[in-house]
Amino acid sequence: MVDAMTMAKPETAFHGKSPNVDAEDAAELGKTTRLTVALEYNGHRYHGFQLQKGQPTIQGELEKALKALTGENIRVAASSRTDSGVHAEGQVASFRTDSKLATSAFTGGLNYYLPDDIAVKAAYRMAESFNVRKDAVSREYKYRILNRQMRSPLWDSYSYRVSSDLDIEKMNEAAGLLVGQKDYASFASNLGDDVKSTVRRVSEARFERNGEMVTFHMAANAFLAHQVRNTVGALVRVGMAKMTVKRFHSIMEARRMGLAGPAAPACGLCLMKVNYKKNLEEYDIENL
């Protein structure tokens, strides 16, 4: 592990030598540039990604780490603003910096300063035109349901435990109604000021069972607030025979905000991947 005295000088923080920035590139990299990082985190103790006054958030921890690493006050934007308690395996965030550190040094340096439940998996230097949110073409989520009566010390923090038998066939019949470009207002808990429409394009909505674990896969171009969790909440009621597929369809067609609630717990939800037209490394201008 790198000691704190070494980390006080980011340029010499990694293996006792400067980051991989040669003299020819130093002047260009000294200008403000846009960096994008791939993140993984356990959201259990955080109040979502986005900054909230007086509450721990993923954005807040990332910005504190950037301050410690670069000395700059940097604002971070995310591809998807995950809610309180939601996990991520494939979150993508972006920021601008004056630092001359190479992307590999950003990965190691941020992980040094970040808490153990947040990790940077990779960093990329992007063209100024890259927009981490608007350029994303789809997001993929998984929701895990542990379908058994007894609690699980291993899975209770990462899944929604349902003790009743679930009819996966019926749940998939109802989930299939979600696929396509439709108005999903009934599955939204609220609308932010920047939301102009509740129409989204869902490309995948299906359940699979592996023993006691039932996993819901959902992908769309974008999601409304609490859309996945409200969807799972309704579909679980279908699986428990507390709601018919016909009733589920009528809720969707009603297009009335919050009608599908209550939402399934946040602990079972994980942002798996954010998709762009190309892989992130193909956008990296250091590789061009």
By annotation, the residues acting in catalysis are: 83
Chain Cα centroid distance, residue 116: 17
Which residues on neighbouring strands pair with residue 8, listed in sequence order? none
What's the one-letter identity of residue 266?
Answer: A
Cα(122)–Cα(105) distance, integer angstroms: 10
Cα(175)–Cα(204) distance, integer angstroms: 9
Phi, psi of 235 (to 5 degrees): -70, -30
What residue ranges in 26-108 does DSSP mark as E strands?
A: 33-41, 77-78, 87-97
- Match 């979150």 to its residue by tokens: 91
Cα(250)–Cα(113) distance, integer angstroms: 49
Is there a contact between 129 and 96 (Cβ–Cβ < 8 Å)?
no
Cα(104)–Cα(195) distance, integer angstroms: 36
Cα(251)–Cα(248) distance, integer angstroms: 5
Cα(43)–Cα(45) distance, integer angstroms: 6
Return the SS3 of 243: coil
Is there a contact between 105 and 19 (Cβ–Cβ < 8 Å)?
yes
Is there a contact between 272 and 89 (Cβ–Cβ < 8 Å)?
yes
